Amino acid sequence: MGQAGDEETNQEDVAWMRLIASGDETAFRHLVEKHQRAVIGTIGKMTNFSPDSEDLAQQVFVRVWKSAKKYQPTAKFTTYLFTITRNLVFNYTRKKSRQKEHSLEEQTDGWHQQLSDTTPGNQPDESLEHAELQSIVDQAIAQLPEKQRLAVILRRHEKMPYEEMAPVLELSVPAVKSQLFRARAALREILSSYLED
């Protein structure tokens, strides 16, 4: 979608938010239907597809509903939406990591076991191999620090421009690029043993 299309879709979101501020449930339903897939997908990838992903997504939209009267369109609506998403996900992941620490060794042992389960006589077809590789990449992304993880997800899956990522991550554009550079380097290191096989 071009810049004009982006502006048009943003104006639609802003118009809906004005209606939601006056209690319009139909506008809220339209807004949720338009953005829920991106929010659920981002939360799923950030939480390694936790069963809590949909609950967290609901919390995002509950916050959008509750804050509609205070909403000011100073940035794109999606920036506002993903900032709420970021706050909820970061709180969730911090709480979870305090509850239960997983070492990288435990995680990589699990991946190694997954990969070792294919016997020469029973090679998976290409789509299964692709799914397995995607699972390994997702698990590698889950090992990144939360800001790097969110930067990768917003860039790779949401195709978000650096300028939009910056306010969501509370970073400058050069700092966003730096986060992505470090994330890619870390991912290369984590995935190197699988890429060699």
H or E segment and range at residue 109: helix 104-116
d(CA 66, CA 68): 6
Q: Six-digit token pair at 52?
A: 């809590």
pLDDT tens digit sequence for 151-172: 999 998 899 999 999 999 999 9
Q: Is the dihedral of CA 159, 13, 58, 95 positive or negative?
A: positive
H or E segment and range at residue 148: helix 146-156
Residues near 39 by beta carbon (within 8 Å), at least 6 away in sequence: 57, 60, 61, 81, 82, 85
Instruction: Return the higher-pLDDT residue of 120 and 16.
Output: 16
- pLDDT of 11 strictly over 80: yes
Domains annotated on the chain, with CATH: 1-101 (1.10.1740.10), 102-197 (1.10.10.10)
DSSP 63-92: HHHHHGGG---SS-HHHHHHHHHHHHHHHH
pLDDT tens digit sequence for 84-117: 999 999 999 888 777 665 444 444 444 444 443 4
pLDDT score, position 196:
67
